[in-house]
Amino acid sequence: MSAIQNYEDRPWMDPEAEPFIKIQSVSKLFGDFVAVDSVDLEIYKGELFCLLGGSGCGKSTLLRMLAGFEMPSSGSIMIDGANMTDVPPYERPVNMMFQSYALFPHMTVEKNVAYGLKRDGIAADEIGKRVEEMLSMVELTQFRKRKPHQLSGGQQQRVALARSLIKQPKVLLLDEPLGALDKRLREQTQYELMALQDQLGITFVVVTHDQEEAMTLSTRIAVMDLGRFQQIGTPTEIYEFPNSRLVAKFIGNANMFEGRVTENSPDHVTVESHDPECQFYIDHGMSIQKGSKVWIALRPEKINISKEPPANGNANVIKGMVHDIGYLGGTSTYRVQIGDGRIVEITSPNQVRPKDGTPPIDWDQEVYLSWHASSSVVLNK
Ligand SMILES: Nc1ncnc2c1ncn2[C@@H]1O[C@H](COP(=O)(O)OP(=O)(O)O)[C@@H](O)[C@H]1O
Ligand SMILES: [Mg+2]
């Protein structure tokens, strides 16, 4: 997670804190197509906020409205206390880094970076000084005389970043900033981006369709679908406490079971599913009707796999047969077929070295899957 780590630094939890960006009932229609559907969002200073969702869900449209390249069809956007409705893009305290980077191919790295300041008529020695600083910050000093085509994808990305940061915007908007990089470089660049954001203290709003990227980078994430926010929360909240099947499945993997609430007490809830036959015992109360239909989401790493039946009785256990094993060294992924023929996925760390190299759990073996009473997430939509 990013710069904001301790409790005092979680401004969204502080009722007194003023949001830096305030999006109120904002919609955007293209003809009669609703690209962004009446969203509300508050982003605080210094956050690295991610808009996450599949292609076409309205992420870029929302970002472009923050930048001023699109006007909302209705609703309002406030940035740093000012209403942005009549403020043109170049007068907003924001800058945008595009997915394509849009570097000038005929200009050197330093000219690309200096461009915005030059256009603003800043004095040459001031430009020189700031370009110097910026290039050093993104570690491009030695490439200053190169042109974009003489750089790697990661270096081009850093030029684009330097160019959008040099005007010292209060908010940097990044649309799929790492989309053009391969996986390894993308991971490394994620950490660079976080370090830079931490160092500068600028508010970042990042659009991505990559859930791992959002999880790594963000202070908070808004999960978007069909122009709406499905859930807004910290990476941990979104992963451990998804509010719907959609979010549970979009962020990480989740095994999903359908059942009915059979008992609802202040300190526990039970859910029964028939396909497969299973009793779920959840060790806390929740506001849910007895008899109502629910879904249980279970993360693969929260399921224990064993040859012997677990000691804790009949609840929170399913019997199955190992169908596939994916051995990854540090962890193994087991795909276990249960009663109704479905496959349940389990990941577990390989903590013990097997004596003669044979795995402790093998293909076609009968196994018990069990989990802790706090591990099931009960969802009603
Ligand atoms: N200028 C436009 N005219 C018409 N439709 C648009 C325009 N821009 C975006 N859309 C549509 O709005 C939806 C959301 O687009 P976009 O915000 O780019 O999605 P995302 O960035 O999440 O992939 C898409 O269905 C897209 O086709
Ligand atoms: Mg987009």
Which contiguous run of DSSP H or E holds residue 261? strand 255-264
Around 271, how many Cα atoms within 13 Å sit in the side-chain half-sphere?
Answer: 29
Please tell me the predicted confidence (pLDDT) of residue 143: 95
C-alpha 100 – ligand 1 centre gap (Å): 16
Structural domains in the chain, CATH included, are 7-93+169-248 (3.40.50.300), 253-379 (2.40.50.140)
Q: Whose CA is nearest to atom 3 of ligand 1?
A: 30
Q: Which residues contact 59 (CB under 8 A, 6 or more apart)?
A: 51, 52, 53, 175, 207, 208, 209, 224
Residue reference for tokens 């009722």? 15
Q: What DSSP character marks residue 90?
A: G
CA-nearest of 279, 276, 243 to 262 is 279
- Number of Cβ atoms within 10 Å of the Cβ of 148: 18
Q: Supply the DSSP symbol for 381.
A: -
Ligand 1 pocket residue status of 218, Cβ below 6 Å? no
Query: Ligand 2 centroid vs 224 CA: distance in angstroms?
Result: 12
Q: Report which protein residue has its CA nearest ligand 1's atom 27.
A: 56
Sign of the four-CA dihedral 229, 234, 239, 241: negative
Determine the pLDDT at residue 359: 75
Beta bridge pairs of residue 256: 297
- pLDDT computed for residue 1 by the predictor: 45
Q: What ligand is nearest to the CA atom of residue 222?
A: 1
Q: Specify the residue for token string 């605080």.
A: 44
Distance CA 221, CA 293 (A): 28
| Confidence at residue 203, expressed as pLDDT on a 0 to 100 scale | 94
Cα(246) to centroid(ligand 1), Å: 21
Write out the two tokens for 276: 């497969």
Ligand 1 within 6 A of CB of 208:
no
Probe target for ligand 1 pocket from 27, 29, 30, with the most ligand atoms within 8 Å of CB? 30
Atom of ligand 1 nearest to the CA of 58: 17
Residue nearest to atom 12 of ligand 1 (CA): 35
Query: How far, in Å, CA of 86 to CA of 71, rounded?
Result: 9
Tally of CA atoms within 13 A in the half-sphere of 362 that contains its CB:
4
Would the CB of 302 count as within 6 Å of ligand 1?
no
Question: Which ligand ends up closest to the CA of 28?
Answer: 1
At 330, list the tokens.
């540090």
**Continuous segment of H or E residues that includes residue 304:** strand 303-306
- The whole-angstrom separation of Cα 360 and Cα 80 is 58
What local confidence, expressed as pLDDT, does residue 99 receive? Answer: 66
pLDDT at position 106, please?
94
pLDDT at position 2 is 47
Pick the ligand that lies closest to the CA of residue 54. Answer: 1
Q: Give 10-residue mean pLDDT values along the chain (381 residues).
A: 56 87 97 96 94 95 96 96 92 85 90 92 92 90 94 89 90 88 82 86 93 91 97 95 94 93 92 89 89 95 92 87 92 91 93 80 91 93 92
Does any ligand 1 atom lie closer than 6 A to the CB of residue 35? yes
Task: Tell me, using a 6 A CB cutoff, whether residue 90 lines ligand 1.
Answer: no
Instruction: Kindly provide the b/e burial profile for residues 4-41, where b requires at least 16 CB atoms within 10 angstroms of the residue's own CB.
Output: beeeeebbbeeeeeebbbbbeebbbeeeeebbbbbbeb
Identify the CA nearest to 57 among candidates 268, 207, 238, 211.
207
- Does the reported pTM lie above 0.75? yes
> Which atom of ligand 1 sits closest to the CA of residue 36?
14
* Residue 297 three-state SS: strand
- Ligand 1 atom 18: residue of nearest CA: 60
- Alpha-carbon span 108 to 105, nearest angstrom: 8
Distance 9 CA to ligand 1 centre (A): 34
Q: How far is 26 from 28, CA to CA, in rounded Å? A: 7
Quick one: DSSP state of residue 292? -
Ligand 1 proximity of 222 Cβ (cutoff 6 Å): no
